[in-house]
């Protein structure tokens, strides 16, 4: 039997959406719908709407929308089947069987997860004991608060003791080995705890279940970091450390960093300035990149500033390009030589991290620069080789429109290099091509023009907020400002332009406001549109909205 559209329709009709969402979000009935604070982004005034009749939710602040299934997928990290099964339980409907069910396998998986959870609690408990003082002292030296230690369920593995406790709790040798918690000596066949004298970092899946452990050695023991082996519950290439904590911070509109290690994730999270995820001792995989994109459309690669870290960033860029999609990308932050995010935070605090984030380059800049740095661009044959390689990199992008857009930008830069080389006045350097100010694209100019008008005419913005919330500006900064503008006007609808600009400037949009003013000057809007009346402004806004909604002809 399969899950049919008819079953899904019946399921949705049996469960009111407001009852599902209302378990976590305080909803207030308003006419035929419910409103509340959006669970997907931080806000103080409700802009999250739930419609039981249509089984649909929508936030006019951040633009998120969906049904009960998508809500469970996003909030609980469930996949489609798991979400349907959860709703079926709420509705009291029998879940269709998806292929043959191996009950023995299900029971083993349940026992495995239970064993891992018990081990996590055991490691946590060790921090409060004499034998665990070494681990607790290490965490304190790293500046971690009790709250952050508890949130990440950090612990300590003593030299022995876990296996005997597992046995006492009824977890036998087979399940303990399957969980990666014990090993067997090749010398005498004796069983031993897999993690010994190490600080423990529980690794959780997107539902918050412990599926494995990472461990840092105390002193000079090797390897310095040790992960659980792959198991039925754990595959290194498909998991990112810190998922639940990152999801919570991203909903507060914090940027998302991809870092290298456990302590970097924890330090970034504790800084309250950003969210963070990390691969588990392996190169960033396509699957992990896809997971990061589920949380944020443009995470920032923030790998260590040493050579291995920068090499890893370069490999990640080449792995990301083939799977690029519209509105999905990354930025790349460069750390000082030999520093990691934890070092920056400990030395400069959260503001030091924000400084690094603010200098992050776009994917196209990073790809261009890294390739260009391999060539002597003062030599024509080297320039030709570089052009060949960067074009080859563009051809790896699978998505047609994304590849075309990326290729257009690369060709523009190549033409700039050609123009400079024909001038012959200055020798080529790796950074010459980056010093040319990138002209604004028509789409960016259009977005900034619309934002300028929306700020100048807040009443029109309020009137058209539903239509405007559906528009995709195609630029992360403009999109964030649009949503922030909505939040401001929902809270205080009577604000004038000066007060709106003040709020936006104080919220970190000062540079974008300057760019918007520059766009007005470029388009002579100071003569054409700054003095328009309400009707003219409404007409101009409608024209720009129409351009956004009209498919671009190729």
- pLDDT in the model for residue 101: 57
More confident residue, 256 or 488: 256
- pLDDT in the model for residue 258: 97
pLDDT bin (cut points 50, 70, 90) of residue 496 is: confident
Tens digit of each residue's pLDDT (9 = 90 or more) over 320-368 = 999 998 888 999 998 988 899 999 999 999 999 999 998 899 999 999 9
CA 263 from centroid of its chain's CA atoms: 18
Q: How far is it, in rounded angstroms, from Cα 544 to Cα 23?
A: 40
Q: What is the mean pLDDT of the chain?
A: 85
Q: How far is it, in rounded angstroms, from Cα 407 to Cα 402?
A: 8
- pLDDT in the model for residue 157: 96
> CB–CB of 37/48 below 8 Å?
yes
Kindly give, in sequence order, each residue whose CB lies less than 8 Å from that of residue 510, ignoring residues fewer than 6 positions away: 504
Residue with tokens 């006492």: 168
More confident residue, 294 or 472: 294
**Residue 515 confidence (pLDDT) above 90:** no
Is-cis flag, bond preceding 166, omega within 30?
no
Q: Does domain 243-359 have CATH number 3.40.50.620?
A: no
- pLDDT in the model for residue 226: 93
Query: Checking phi first, is residue 224 left (phi over 0); if not, alpha (psi -120 to 50) or beta?
Result: alpha
**Residue 521 confidence (pLDDT) above 90:** no
> CB–CB of 217/156 below 8 Å?
no
CA 337 from centroid of its chain's CA atoms: 25
Q: How far is it, in rounded angstroms, from Cα 300 to Cα 41?
A: 19
From the CB of residue 323, how many other CB atoms can be counted at a distance below 10 Å? Answer: 17
Tens digit of each residue's pLDDT (9 = 90 or more) over 38-52 = 888 777 788 899 988
Residue with tokens 């990308």: 329
Q: Are domains 5-91 and 103-234 of this chain identical in fold?
A: no
**Residue 289 confidence (pLDDT) above 90:** yes
CATH of region 103-234, choose from 3.90.980.10, 3.40.50.1100, 3.30.930.10, 3.40.120.10 = 3.90.980.10
SS3 category, 535: helix
Tens digit of each residue's pLDDT (9 = 90 or more) over 87-132 = 888 888 887 766 555 678 878 889 999 999 999 999 999 999 999 9
**Residue 553 confidence (pLDDT) above 70:** no
Determine what percent of the chain is predicted with pLDDT higher than 70.
Answer: 92
Report the side by side order of strands in the sheet with 225-227: 155-157, 198-204, 210-217, 225-227
- pLDDT in the model for residue 2: 60
Burial class (CB in 10 A: 0-12, 13-18, 19+), 486: buried
**Residue 225 confidence (pLDDT) above 70:** yes
Domain-wise residue ranges, the chain = 5-91, 103-234, 243-359, 365-434, 442-549
**Residue 166 confidence (pLDDT) above 90:** yes
Determine what percent of the chain is predicted with pLDDT higher than 90.
Answer: 44
Q: How far is it, in rounded angstroms, from Cα 315 to Cα 327?
A: 21
CATH of region 5-91, choose from 3.40.50.720, 3.90.580.10, 3.40.50.300, 3.40.50.970 = 3.90.580.10
Kindly give, in sequence order, each residue whose CB lies less than 8 Å from that of residue 461, ignoring residues fewer than 6 positions away: 454, 455, 468, 485, 486, 489
SS3 category, 244: helix
More confident residue, 549 or 122: 122
Q: Which of 59-73, 160-174, 416-430 has the lowest mean pLDDT?
A: 416-430
pLDDT bin (cut points 50, 70, 90) of residue 393 is: very high
Q: What is the mean pLDDT of residues 242-252?
A: 90
Q: Point out which residues pair with 210 in neighbouring strands.
A: 204
pTM for the model: 0.67
**Residue 502 confidence (pLDDT) above 80:** yes
Highest mean pLDDT among 55-64, 354-363, 497-506: 354-363
Q: How many helices and strands (H and E) does the chain possess?
A: 26, 16
- pLDDT in the model for residue 526: 38
pLDDT bin (cut points 50, 70, 90) of residue 164 is: very high
Q: What sign results for the dihedral spanned by CA atoms 40, 45, 48, 50?
A: positive
CA-closest candidate to residue 97, choices 116, 121, 113, 81? 81
Residue with tokens 């036998």: 172
- pLDDT in the model for residue 424: 52
Q: How far is it, in rounded angstroms, from Cα 362 to Cα 332?
A: 6
CA-closest candidate to residue 157, choices 124, 191, 203? 124
- pLDDT in the model for residue 178: 94
- pLDDT in the model for residue 550: 63
More confident residue, 1 or 73: 73
**Residue 529 confidence (pLDDT) above 50:** no
> CB–CB of 154/199 below 8 Å?
yes
Q: How far is it, in rounded angstroms, from Cα 248 to Cα 75?
A: 9
- pLDDT in the model for residue 433: 43
More confident residue, 78 or 36: 36
Rg (CA), the chain: 27
Return phi, psi of residue 213, to 5°.
Answer: -140, 150
Q: How far is it, in rounded angstroms, from Cα 453 to Cα 516?
A: 10
**Residue 315 confidence (pLDDT) above 60:** yes
> CB–CB of 344/312 below 8 Å?
no
pLDDT bin (cut points 50, 70, 90) of residue 72 is: confident
More confident residue, 532 or 419: 419
Tens digit of each residue's pLDDT (9 = 90 or more) over 3-18 = 777 778 778 778 889 9
Q: How far is it, in rounded angstroms, from Cα 289 to Cα 299?
A: 9
**Residue 427 confidence (pLDDT) above 60:** no
């Amino acid at each position: 039997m399969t899950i049919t559209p008819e079953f899904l329709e019946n399921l949705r009709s049996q469960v009111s959406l407001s009852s599902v969402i209302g378990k976590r979000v305080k909803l207030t009935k308003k006419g035929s719908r419910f409103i509340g604070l959006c669970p997907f982004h931080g806000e103080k005034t409700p802009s999250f709407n739930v419609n039981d009749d249509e089984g649909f939710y929508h936030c006019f602040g951040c633009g998120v929308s969906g049904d009960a299934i998508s809500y469970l997928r996003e909030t609980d990290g469930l996949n489609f089947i798991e979400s349907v099964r959860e709703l079926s339980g709420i509705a009291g409907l029998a879940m269709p069987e998806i292929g043959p069910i191996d009950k023995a396998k299900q029971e083993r998986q349940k026992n495995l997860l239970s064993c891992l959870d018990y081990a996590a609690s055991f490691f946590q408990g060790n921090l409060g004991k004499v034998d665990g003082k070494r681990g607790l002292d290490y965490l304190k030296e790293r500046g971690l608060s009790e709250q952050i230690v508890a949130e990440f369920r950090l612990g300590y593995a003593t030299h022995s003791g876990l296996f005997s406790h597992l046995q006492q709790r009824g977890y036998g040798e087979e399940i303990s080995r399957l969980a990666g918690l014990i090993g067997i000596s090749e010398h005498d066949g004796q069983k031993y705890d897999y993690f010994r004298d190490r600080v423990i970092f529980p690794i959780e899946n997107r539902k918050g279940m412990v599926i494995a452990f990472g461990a840092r050695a105390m002193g000079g023991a090797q390897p310095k970091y040790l992960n659980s082996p792959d198991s039925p519950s754990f595959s290194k290439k498909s998991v990112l450390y810190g998922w639940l904590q990152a999801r919570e911070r991203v909903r507060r509109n914090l940027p998302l960093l991809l870092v290298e290690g456990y302590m970097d994730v924890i330090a970034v999270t504790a800084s309250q300035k950003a969210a963070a995820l990390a691969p588990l001792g392996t190169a960033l995989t396509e699957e992990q990149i896809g997971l990061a994109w589920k949380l944020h459309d443009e995470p920032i690669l923030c790998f260590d500033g040493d050579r291995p870290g920068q090499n890893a960033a370069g490999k990640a860029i080449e792995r990301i390009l083939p799977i690029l999609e519209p509105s999905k990308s990354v930025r790349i932050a460069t750390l000082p030589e030999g520093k990691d995010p934890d070092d920056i935070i400990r030395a400069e605090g959260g503001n030091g991290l924000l400084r690094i984030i603010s200098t992050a380059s776009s994917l196209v800049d990073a790809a261009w620069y890294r390739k260009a740095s391999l060539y002597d661009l003062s030599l024509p044959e080297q320039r030709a080789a570089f052009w060949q390689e960067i074009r080859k990199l563009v051809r790896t992008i699978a998505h047609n429109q994304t590849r075309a857009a990326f290729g257009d930008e690369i060709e523009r830069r190549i033409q700039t290099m050609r123009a400079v080389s024909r001038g012959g006045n200055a020798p080529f350097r790796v950074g010459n091509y980056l010093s040319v100010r990138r002209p604004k694209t028509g789409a960016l100019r259009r977005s900034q023009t619309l934002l300028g008008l929306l700020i100048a005419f807040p009443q029109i913005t309020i009137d058209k907020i539903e239509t405007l919330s559906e528009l995709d500006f195609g630029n992360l900064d403009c999109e964030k400002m649009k949503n922030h503008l909505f939040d401001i006007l929902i809270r205080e609808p009577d604000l004038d332009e000066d007060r709106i600009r003040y709020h936006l400037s104080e919220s970190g949009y000062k540079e974008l406001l300057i760019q918007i003013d520059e766009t007005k000057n470029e388009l002579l809007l100071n003569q054409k549109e700054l003095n328009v009346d309400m009707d003219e402004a409404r007409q101009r806004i409608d024209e720009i909205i129409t351009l956004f909604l009209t498919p671009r002809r190729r």
